[in-house]
Amino acid sequence: MVMPLFDTASTTDASTALPLGVTVPRADTAAAGPAGNGRPGARANVACYAPGVRSLEIVYRAPGADWRVQALPNVTHGVHHGIVDHLPYGSRYGFRPAATEQSLPLAVPTRDVNDDGGQPLLLDPYGQAVDQRDGFLTSVRMASDFDWGQDARLRLEWRDTIIYEAHVRGQSMLHPDLPQELRGTYAGMAHPAIIEHLKSLGITAVQLLPVHFHLDEPHLQDLGLTNYWGYNTAAFFAPHPGYATKAAQEAGPQAVQDEFKGLVKALHAAGLEVILDVVYNHTAEGGPDGQALSFRGLGEDTYYRTDGNGKYVDTTGCGNSLNFAEPQVVQLVVDSLRHWVDEFHIDGFRFDLAVTLCRNDANEFDPQHPFLVAVAADPVLSDVKLIAEPWDIGYGGWQTGRFPAGWADWNDHFRDTVRSFWLADRASLESGGQGGSVARLADVMSGSAALFAASGRSRLASVNYITAHDGFTLNDLVSYDRKHNEANGEQNRDGHGDNRSYNHGFEGPTEDGAILAKRAQSRRNLMATLLISIGVPMITAGDELGRTQQGNNNAYCQDNALAWLDWTRTPESHEMLRTTKRYIRLRKEFLAAQPHEFPVLDEQSYLYWFDQAGQPMSMERWNDPQHRVMQLLLGSDDGTLAGLVVVNGSTSDVHITLPRIIAQGTPHTKFELRLTTTPLHELRQGSKVASGEKDLVEANSINIYRT
């Protein structure tokens, strides 16, 4: 073992409590002038918020040197800080309470750090990289060197945004055109074959599942599984090294960081925004009996929400909840977000279990919570895309529609309504039962306006989705009535039971041609509804290829072919890909013909509803489940074309009468059929029907026309 060298703080310590983390001392920056933001040397200002300890030490090791220990001599409002003279870039380090304080259970082995069985090393909450060598975790001091060239955030409009939710590892693990060493990595995601697929699909933003440094939960380790999704963050400023190539991992944290930046740069060059799924609601330290990795050892009662008696208040289901009633926690998250925008050029964030971030002292959701106010007032963060998963598992946890201006919400009402109409209702109808009316479907297709109006937001606050990483894939929605999560090691008890899916007569894979045709029809209906509805659509990676997870609706621990994208080309995957591209092109074509304000300004945009006879929908028709046909004419007074969407959710073919409208003073406008979700699309596309005349809409299908 190597005996640590003990340093004492300089008698001229000019450290500051802010900024937190390891930074260039202010005096050094001022002396260096404009060039001082390069690599000014080994001196560092070290500041760590640790209200739970009286005195704090930094244990550190410069590249090629021995371990050293230095006390942080100054304490300002719970922030321990000092100047360290031998901490160059690339140095590994961690914190521990001074030896006189009560020791916590060891979080990591301390071999090569001390030889007296002393304090554990705690990660820096502001550490920008995590090193896992020698069997324990340390933070790493990082430089910002990277050649961004002309890269900048893209700032695409919300109304033109189409989100593609993807996993860095799963996206490329099985892609046949990628070299083996790039598969499952940041560099693999940036490979031209992957980017070409995304560009040709037509999406505009890639939303990456968590790339913050995360750890596997102990119960998964006991089962020989891993947290594939990564929703178990241990370091909010550090990219996960496990997604870098082997070469980058061996080269060290700087190479890992650069590889991820290279991914962002490549996606931007392709015109694609990068949105990160971020997990600030809890940490990898788990419940009160979990590991002390960082926050628990630095100030457990401050960083985590408790009930006043020291008992954890868990609104996440993960053992702990970060305490957003504490200003320093709000500052930590705001600083982390700004770091990813400034340092990595990230375009936006999707916040996992976002309600936990907005709970006040009374543990109630507050749409004016200091965290939300801080983000809105921040000149950097207020300029990026902000997406809430608007629920958690605590009391009052479902808050869809209540986040403030500047935010968009995952719209679970859209998800459930569309699934019910096309799948659960169809199952009921085909078994002799009754389905629901078209009213709820009409509401979500038109942007769930009433849901978001109270928060002062428009229809563009609705992030519409039918599937996500959590739940069935699109293909499994139409192939399974029940979840099949046995591979997760929890006797199929995990995962959601309310899937609103329909197997169309057989559970799982089948070679029955009639069933396969019905499933394909339902897939097309679901994807078309998603992409023609007002709001911001989100596609889950692989749905455009008909990906299956074999009925597993909670594949968070399946880092294998079950959860990875299968790029094998089959007639079914080829058809689904062509179909998805077609729907995206149609959406873009329609929006390009509308003024910039569409659909935000209701006085200029219109949505007219008609029944199958071409007459305005009556309240009786809206609420009668026997009438599952509706027509939606939408557009803008200043637009160059209108769109007509006709939905037939019944089990019979229907002859509709297209509505009589006046366009540019002409009372009998022609409609051109642009799309039908039936197999007859290629034959019928382009046919023209005059308003007031009849056309056929087959059972369980959608027709889309333009004027």
The CA R_g of the chain, rounded to the nearest whole Å, is 28
Q: Which two tokens stand for residue 126?
A: 């502001």
CA distance 354 to 398: 10
Q: How many CB atoms lie within 10 A of CB 193?
A: 14
Could you tell me if 154 and 100 are in contact, meaning their C-beta atoms sit under 8 angstroms apart? no
DSSP 8-73: ---TT----S-S-EEE--HHHHHHHGGGGGS---S-EEEEEE-TT-S-EEEEEE-TTS-EEEEEE-
Is 352 annotated as catalytic?
yes
CA distance 120 to 134: 14
Name the catalytic one among 217, 352, 366, 559: 352
∠ CA 87-93-95, nearest 5°, is: 120
Could you tell me if 631 and 616 are in contact, meaning their C-beta atoms sit under 8 angstroms apart? no
The β-bridge relationship of strands 348-351 and 5-7 is unpaired
Count CA atoms closer than 13 A to 492's CA, side-chain side.
8
Which residues are CB-neighbours of 464 under 8 A, at least 6 positions away?
Answer: 411, 414, 415, 444, 530, 533, 535, 536, 537, 538
Q: Which two tokens stand for residue 82?
A: 């000092």
363: left (phi over 0), alpha (psi -120 to 50) or beta: left
CA distance 109 to 416: 47
Residue bearing tokens 């199958």: 612
Percent of residues in the chain assigned helix, strand, coil, to nearest 5: 30, 20, 50
CA distance 499 to 471: 8
Beta-strand (E) ranges in 21-66? Answer: 21-23, 44-49, 56-61
Which residues are CB-neighbours of 186 under 8 A, at least 6 positions away?
Answer: 168, 243, 244, 245, 248, 259, 260, 262, 263
CA distance 541 to 180: 21
The β-bridge relationship of strands 74-76 and 67-72 is unpaired
Name the catalytic one among 259, 300, 389, 543: 389
CA distance 494 to 485: 7
Name the DSSP letter for residue 105. Answer: P
Residue bearing tokens 């929006």: 591
Residue bearing tokens 């087959």: 698
Q: How far apart are the first and last CA of the chain?
A: 79
Q: Which among 629, 635, 681, 619 is positioned nearest to 656, based on CA atoms?
A: 629
Q: Give catalytic residues, as residue numbers.
A: 352, 389
